[in-house]
Amino acid sequence: MKLYHYVHCPYCIRVRMGLGFLNIAYESHVLPYNDETTPVQLSGVKMLPFIEIDGKVQNESLDILKSLDTNNLLGWSQLKEREVEIDNLLTKIGSPVHSLCMPYWIWTPEFDESSRQYFQSKKEVKRGPFKDLIKNKTQYLQSLNEILSNDIEKNLEPFYKSSALTIIDIMIAAHLWGMYIFPEFQFSPKVHAYLQKVSGLCHFDYHQDFWK
């Protein structure tokens, strides 16, 4: 199985974590963000992640994991019961996290000058100039801290409203993981321990493809 992904992308991290939890081996292919040809040729759209097995391609992160989780180890029924709640939660998390992290992601080893310019020009259409995101970081950090305190930390049992890890924890952890690269932010001890527990159970190494 081949996995085509970006390193920074939370939906790609979601699949990497899920595959690690399910102990499914895969061949990693990190695509440059400005590579439009490869994903379109293989999957028909410029959308990552996607997997390729015996020439057959599947995209959409949750569809990928659900199709591979033949023993229902990720507790999909919990997600089905709280789908609207989790969608709303991830939307709340994603807004400040992306505004804070995008200006920093482009300086990680995943990007070169060409892909950096491509990413920035695309994302600034939606979020505005990166320099303004950095200038307004205080309000984004305040928003994120409120979400972590009121929506995440209070619901850890020790996983999100659960005594065992489910797909919901992978979705939350994948959305939050980018904040580890933000230099002026630190998770609370409880949230950090939660994220590290998810990471350990998923055998997840964010930097795996950086140091090959």
Q: Cα(120)–Cα(100) distance, rounded to whole angstroms? A: 13
For residue range 186-200, what is the model confidence (pLDDT) as tens digits? Answer: 999 999 999 999 999
In the chain, CATH 3.40.30.10 covers 2-68
Q: Cα(139)–Cα(41) distance, rounded to whole angstroms? A: 41
Q: Which residues contact 183 (CB under 8 A, 6 or more apart)?
A: 104
For 75, the token pair is 């507790």
In the chain, CATH 1.20.1050 covers 76-201
- Please tell us whether the domain made up of 76-201 is placed in CATH 1.10.3470: no
For residue range 67-101, what is the model confidence (pLDDT) as tens digits? Answer: 999 999 999 999 999 999 999 999 999 999 999 99
- Burial of 101-118, coded b for 16+ CB within 10 Å and e otherwise, reads bbbbbbeeebbeeebbeb
65 has a pLDDT exceeding 80: yes
Q: CA torsion, points 169, 100, 122, 114, in degrees to nearest 10?
A: -100
Q: What is the pLDDT of residue 23?
A: 98
Q: What is the pLDDT of residue 116?
A: 98
Confidence band (pLDDT; 50, 70, 90) for 210? confident
For residue range 124-146, what is the model confidence (pLDDT) as tens digits? Answer: 999 999 999 999 999 999 999 99
Q: 166 in helix, strand or coil?
A: coil
212 has a pLDDT exceeding 70: no
**Domain 2-68 - what CATH class?**
alpha beta
